[in-house]
Amino acid sequence: NEGGIKQVSNYCPDPGEPENGKRSGSDFSIGATAQFTCDEDHVLQGSKTITCQRVAEVFAAWSDHRPVCKVKTCGSTLHGPSGTFTSPNFPIQYESNSHCVWVITAGDPNKVIQINFEEFDLEIGYDSLTIGDGGEVGDSRTIIQVLTGSFVPDLIVSMSHQMWLHLQSDESVGSIGFKINYKEIDKESCGDPGTPLYGFQEGSGFLNGNVLRFECQFGFELIGERMITCQNNNQWSANIPICIFPCFSNFTAAMGTVLSPDYPEGYGNNLNCMGSSILGRYSGAEVPSHFSSNTNILQLEFQADHSMSGRGFNITYSTFGHNECPDPGVPLNARRFGDSFQLGSSVSVVCEEGFIKTQGTDTITCQLEGGKVMWSGPIPKCEAPCGGHYSAPSGVILSPGWPGYYKDSLSCEWVIEATPGRSVKISFDRFQTELSYDFLEVHDGPNLLSPLIGSFNGTQAPQFLFSSSNFIYLLFITDNSRSNSGFKIFYESEATTILSFQCDKGYRLSHEEPLEWLSSHSLHLCVYWIGERKRGECAEIVVGCIGTHAAVVCIGTHAAVVCIGTHAAVVCIGTHAAVVCIGTHAAVVCIGNHAAVVCIGTHAVWNTVVCVPETAVQLEPIGTHAAVVCVPETAVQLEPIGTHAAVVCVPEITAQLEPIGTHAAVVCVPETAAQLEPIGTHAAVVCVPETAALNWNPLEPMLQWSVFQRQQL
């Protein structure tokens, strides 16, 4: 405005392009639009389209800021008709600085998407889940809800056949995240919002314009909207109400239930729900035993202070005559025998298999004591024990707290003992612990010093395991935070297996007696007598055992060595094999029918890939630990094995067991493997024809190889 003349601008400034994105539209005049898109693997935050518009009569400005493109760190594309997905690591804390995108598409384009939240907990105010309609992720015009904290709608429904969800977390702490169920439903519908606990629903349907009415059961109070409407945007006008138990009530029915206020949501503070004569006073988490009144009236008084509160209580009551005892109920994890509660009658309780009695006696009697008819003691309680010594032929071991969650900070030991000459088999029926924090160790023997068979956590556990002796030891350790459902393990004793072997023509057995799988016996293998030994050929040598596990070594006419120690090892048996060493360390990695090694100078490297000619293969893990292999810098020659090449490198002298981490040990052999003497009482090497080696079935239970997830023989 110079000299009273207004300078009017008809153009907006160049909005530029977002990093990792593009802009379409080069007209910046009033009324023009600019559209933005992001590169693949990035998500747009902000408006997809902005418009140049007049501001204050003389200026031109864009309707919104230029959007930004954030890299996608997780998420997926989902399709109908239904499914479930979770935040990363659920139910463990999701990562900071996450940008996860899910796009759900209905299989039928005439349907819409409904989601409901099974779990939801984000860091309130800092982490959010944005939910939008359609497939244009991040477009602010399509946003349906932005959720944070732990309060969410009962249902969210899209307007179209697609819905997108964008999880964003900041750089600080997170929470457990969410678990979401989705499904396709008819258009112009809000979906069934459900029925409140202790309540019921009335209404004609869930289409746009329909109204639902909610009522509570007798004795409960309704909190929230009694009526909700399905709106034209496919969202209900409110969440369904809840039905709570009030602070004061009278009961005249012959039997019923008494709940603390708001149960199970938490009873609140500063309560005084009055009753009269005191028969007992209870607090904390211990469940009281049954009690009865002296008259036809019983009053309960519940008090809560101004500070923290708990979930409350759920009490069942019943009426009974003067010459009978109240129904004692049936304890959890138990069976009750006896249905008469008259004076002089008795009932007995037997715990289910895997549980032990932790309270009361096996039998209680209805008796007269101090002028009152009452049971002689509390009803027994049956719980899964934290450890024990078991010698029955078969049985079950349960995690403490089963079928509920186990407790924090546990250290439980079980010893299973079979009769001498038999072994112990354990089978995993259920297994779920807190991943990476709560562990079940299985040892081959009677105590913690026995060889470790495996350490299991999360949901990864073998179908079954065997001991080599008549003992097996289990140790369950939990940390002081989250828990899970635990485990259910069946055990049984089995006879020691005896195998017989027969060789092809031109071969003979290295031992004549049958093989019995005990640590004091060697493994039968068929040995080819070649007379004078030549380079690359094998002669007879004794095979030893490592602890109570076998060390099977050698394939075809090429000597090979496997990792051995307190665990059975994966044996490389196929059309090719190799032995690789680094100083006093060695390991063999076999993928498919080809040998692959990981090597870099004289240092071990994890998860490195070496390509066998004609094939590039990824290193496979052995159990939960990756196998590492290194080659001395001075021994990197290629030796032909069959028609393919594999790295074969052997130090001149190596004759000792060396640990790799804490879970494996290896043996290195000189190039003339047939000359190797037994190493102490632990290992030796034998060379056998390829066909003979293939006769041994690695899935035979005695070999204990079920600990490993991948094996190729």
Q: For residue range 420-435, what is the model confidence (pLDDT) as tens digits?
A: 989 999 999 999 999 8
pLDDT in tens, 189-212: 999 998 988 899 998 889 999 999
Beta strand 111-121 with 590-591 is unpaired
φ, ψ of residue 675 in degrees (nearest 5): -90, 0
Residue 624 has pLDDT above 80, yes or no: no
From 102-111, 221-230, 485-494, 638-647, the region with the lowest mean pLDDT:
638-647
Confidence band, pLDDT 50/70/90 cuts, at residue 359: confident
Quote the pLDDT of residue 369. 83
DSSP, residue by residue, 34-62:
EEEEE-TTEEEEB-SEEEEEEETTTEEEE
DSSP state of 513: S
Q: What whole-number distance in Å separates Cα of residue 697 and Cα of residue 711?
A: 11
Q: If 0-12 CB within 10 Å is exposed, 13-18 middle and 19+ buried, where does residue 4 land?
A: exposed
Contact 585, 577 (CB under 8 A): no
Quote the pLDDT of residue 255. 58
Residue 60 has pLDDT above 90, yes or no: no
Q: If 0-12 CB within 10 Å is exposed, 13-18 middle and 19+ buried, where does residue 210 land?
A: middle
Q: 416 is written with which tokens?
A: 């299973």
Q: 490 is written with which tokens?
A: 């069946």
Residue 691 has pLDDT above 60, yes or no: no
Q: What whole-number distance in Å separates Cα of residue 186 and Cα of residue 113?
A: 9
Residue 337 has pLDDT above 70, yes or no: yes
pLDDT in tens, 536-593: 333 333 333 333 333 334 434 343 444 333 332 333 333 343 333 333 333 334 434 3
Cβ atoms within 10 Å of 556's Cβ, excluding its own = 23
Residue 492 has pLDDT above 90, yes or no: yes
Q: 59 is written with which tokens?
A: 């200026």
Q: Which amino acid does the sequence have at 206?
A: F
Contact 577, 649 (CB under 8 A): no
Segment 670-690 shows an average pLDDT of 34
Q: 562 is written with which tokens?
A: 């496997």
Q: If 0-12 CB within 10 Å is exposed, 13-18 middle and 19+ buried, where does residue 424 land?
A: buried
φ, ψ of residue 241 in degrees (nearest 5): -75, 175
Q: If 0-12 CB within 10 Å is exposed, 13-18 middle and 19+ buried, where does residue 244 land?
A: buried
* 683 or 598, higher pLDDT: 598
3-state SS class at 675: helix
Segment 27-35 shows an average pLDDT of 92
Preceding omega of 81 cis (within 30 degrees of 0)? yes
Which residues are registered as beta bridge partners of 36? 23
Segment 445-456 shows an average pLDDT of 94
* 157 or 662, higher pLDDT: 157
Cα angle 65-71-73, degrees, rounded to a multiple of 5: 140
**% of the chain residues with pLDDT over 90:** 31
Q: What whole-number distance in Å separates Cα of residue 133 and Cα of residue 165?
A: 9
Residue 521 has pLDDT above 90, yes or no: no
| In 496-557, beta strands by DSSP E | 498-499, 508-509, 515-516, 526-527, 545-546, 549-550
Residue 350 has pLDDT above 90, yes or no: yes
Confidence band, pLDDT 50/70/90 cuts, at residue 63: confident
Segment 691-711 shows an average pLDDT of 28
End-to-end CA distance of the chain: 88
Contact 311, 263 (CB under 8 A): yes
Q: 206 is written with which tokens?
A: 């869930």
Confidence band, pLDDT 50/70/90 cuts, at residue 649: very low
Confidence band, pLDDT 50/70/90 cuts, at residue 476: very high
From 22-26, 149-153, 312-316, 588-592, the region with the lowest mean pLDDT:
588-592
Residue 685 has pLDDT above 70, yes or no: no
Residue 615 has pLDDT above 70, yes or no: no
Q: What residues have CB less than 8 Å from 119, skipping those under 6 apart?
A: 90, 91, 176, 177, 178, 179
Confidence band, pLDDT 50/70/90 cuts, at residue 532: very low
Beta strand 74-79 with 99-105 is parallel
From 85-89, 299-303, 317-321, 649-653, the region with the lowest mean pLDDT:
649-653
Segment 65-74 shows an average pLDDT of 81
| In 526-656, beta strands by DSSP E | 526-527, 545-546, 549-550, 580-582, 585-587, 590-591, 594-595, 621-622, 625-626, 638-641, 644-647
Contact 576, 639 (CB under 8 A): no
Contact 576, 594 (CB under 8 A): yes
* 166 or 293, higher pLDDT: 166
**% of the chain residues with pLDDT over 70:** 62
Q: What whole-number distance in Å separates Cα of residue 193 and Cα of residue 242?
A: 12
From residue 377, give the alpha-carbon distance in Å to each of 293, 340, 341, 626.
16, 16, 14, 57
Q: 86 is written with which tokens?
A: 């979770």
Quote the pLDDT of residue 257. 65
Q: What residues have CB less than 8 Å from 537, skipping those under 6 apart?
A: 530, 557, 674, 687
Quote the pLDDT of residue 65. 86
pLDDT in tens, 230-247: 999 899 999 899 888 776
Cα angle 73-75-76, degrees, rounded to a multiple of 5: 135
104-143 b/e with 16+ CB inside 10 Å = b?
A: bbbeeeebbbbbbbeebbbbeebbbbbbbbbbbbbbeebe
Considering all CA atoms of the chain, what is the largest pairwise distance in Å, rounded to the nearest integer?
117
DSSP state of 691: H
To the nearest whole number, what is the mean pLDDT of the chain?
70
φ, ψ of residue 431 in degrees (nearest 5): -155, 120
Quote the pLDDT of residue 76. 87
Confidence band, pLDDT 50/70/90 cuts, at residue 509: low
Q: What whole-number distance in Å separates Cα of residue 671 and Cα of residue 428?
A: 42
* 137 or 270, higher pLDDT: 137
| Domains, the chain | 21-70 (2.10.70.10), 72-186 (2.60.120.290), 199-244 (2.10.70.10), 388-495 (2.60.120.290), 516-713 (no CATH)
